[in-house]
Structure 1
Amino acid sequence: MYKTQAEALEFLKAFVPHLDNTPDNREIVLCIPFTDLAMMSMNLHGSRVRIGAQNVHWAECGAFTGEISGAMLTELGVRYVVVGHSERRQYFGETDVTVNLRLKAAQKAGLIPIFCVGETKQQRDADETEALIFHQLQVGLEGVDLSQLVIAYEPIWAIGTGETCEAKEANRVIGLIRGQLSYSNVPIQYGGSVKPDNIDTIMAETEIDGVLVGGASLESESFSRIINYSESP
């Protein structure tokens, strides 16, 4: 929940020039607050930057005050939507079942969902990481088209804490996630205190296809450094 429309526009003016030398095979998606979607979509039309939303409801319409439907997002040029982010689970009652409903609704509307999974510090310390994530995948992906999906592994204990999951451990868990999928080409990202000073190491790992960036995406210099990571750290 950052950036008014005016602040978002200022961000774009500073950010877009950094993409001149970004390799063509890197996809950039900005998942922004609902109030910024229309303005950002208009200003990024024709550019290589895609727009994503931060949530979507499972119904096409109805008495769901405060929610937003897939059709409302696609009308604004939105291509992606984050589903099941740890903060939605922690603060707003999101469950594996409602995540599944949102994933299917997003795809029905033509959106590509970014499906978040991950464990808390307590769950990791109790050696429950694999069992928890496998359960999230089993329930969340029922009836979901894996060819129109992105998965993000976000260890909750590494989000906004400054504590980053070691790249090799993130790679190991993402490899386990991929092993649970019937379609192995699903892009799987890592998210959790991704910063300019660790992006090269993260992206050197073989199983990690990209990153879901939090705080470091709010400043154009740091975010562009992450996007323009070195392939030879």
Structure 2
Amino acid sequence: MRSIIIAGNWKMHKTQVEALDFLSSFVHEIDTAPGEREIVLCVPFTALSTLSKNLHGSRIRLGAQNVHWQDNGAFTGEISPPMLRELGVRYVVVGHSERRQYFGETDETVNLRSKAAQAHGLTPILCVGETKAQRDAGETETHILSQLKKGLEQVDQTNLVIAYEPIWAIGTGDTCADDEANRVVGLIRSQLTNTDVPIQYGGSVNPSNIDAIMAQPEIDGVLVGGASLKSDSFARIVNYQA
């Protein structure tokens, strides 16, 4: 049975005060969401401790936006799996396109991060996806299959979430067509040894398109950027109509 996972990725947004203000409204706006839907907030490192203290008793799970592959060491600006576990983090985004584009992430380092997260009981949300140039050149399938082959090496597929995020759709308002997103997610699933791995779609998800996205049979949830920053917007996504 595949899980439904609705995750908000706040990226570099919200102070601790703003995070608490969001939470005070959001927890009440998702009261009626079906219980089988896992709700995750992937927040900046500075907000993890504050939210962790205020999520006790709620159904919301805490996620981080990156993790290093070593437990400690001279890695300025990084954060380790034990540090995240101490804060009650359950999920961690790994290999987001922005990390790959701006901070030099490779399939190899993404793989190391995923394995390190799993070694400490964290669930990686492994991101894959193509650029506009790659899609226009007909390289979508080849690129994603290559990312999967390298990214999944020695990764435990019983503790994993995959997010298909077409890079050309992130933050642009240009959502991938529902049936096309479903096709690519199905392609990803065909490469897995565990076909129950939840596979999300990410890329300009919003309250207006969530129902149609979640009606697709291969899609098991969404990874939401900008629309997760407002409590009412993200609540509408969490409360999508099946």
TM, length-normalised to structure 1: 0.99
**1:109 CA drift (Å):** 1.0
Helix, strand or coil for the counterpart of 2:116? helix
CA deviations on 1:166-185 (whole Å, 9 max, x unpaired) are 01000000000000011100
> Could you tell me which amino acid in structure 2 is paired with residue 56 of structure 1?
V
Identical columns (%): 72
Q: How many residues align?
A: 231
Give 1:173's aligned residue. Answer: 184
**1:141 CA drift (Å):** 0.4
Gaps of 5+ in 1: none
State yes or no: 1:116 paired with 2:127.
yes
CA distance in 1: counterparts of 2:171 and 2:134, whole angstroms: 18
Give 2:15's aligned residue. Answer: 4
CA deviations on 1:201-220 (whole Å, 9 max, x unpaired) are 00000000000000000001
Give 2:201's aligned residue. Answer: 190
**1:49 CA drift (Å):** 0.2
**1:196 CA drift (Å):** 0.2
2:239 to 212, 217, 228: 228
Decide whether the 8 Å contact of 2:206 with 2:227 is kept in 1. Answer: yes
> Could you tell me which amino acid in structure 1 is paired with residue 147 of structure 2?
Q
**1:163 CA drift (Å):** 0.3
State yes or no: 1:95 paired with 2:87.
no
CA distance in 2: counterparts of 1:23 and 1:66, whole angstroms: 38
CA distance in 2: counterparts of 1:45 and 1:69, whole angstroms: 23
> Could you tell me which amino acid in structure 1 is paired with residue 195 of structure 2?
S
Give 2:143's aligned residue. Answer: 132
Decide whether the 8 Å contact of 2:27 with 2:58 is kept in 1. Answer: no
State yes or no: 1:151 paired with 2:157.
no
> Could you tell me which amino acid in structure 2 is paired with residue 191 of structure 1?
G
CA deviations on 1:54-113 (whole Å, 9 max, x unpaired) are 000011110000000000000000000000000000000000000000000000011000
Structure 1 residues 40-51: aligned runs within 5 Å: 40-51=51-62
CA distance in 1: counterparts of 2:167 and 2:127, whole angstroms: 10
> Could you tell me which amino acid in structure 1 is paired with residue 150 of structure 2?
V
Structure 1 residues 201-220: aligned runs within 5 Å: 201-220=212-231
> Could you tell me which amino acid in structure 2 is paired with residue 31 of structure 1?
C
> Could you tell me which amino acid in structure 2 is paired with residue 49 of structure 1?
I
State yes or no: 1:105 paired with 2:105.
no
Gaps of 5+ in 2: 1-11
CA distance in 2: counterparts of 1:20 and 1:67, whole angstroms: 35
Moved more, 17-26 or 208-217: 17-26
TM, length-normalised to structure 2: 0.95
**1:45 CA drift (Å):** 1.1
Give 1:77's aligned residue. Answer: 88
1:27 to 30, 35, 38: 38
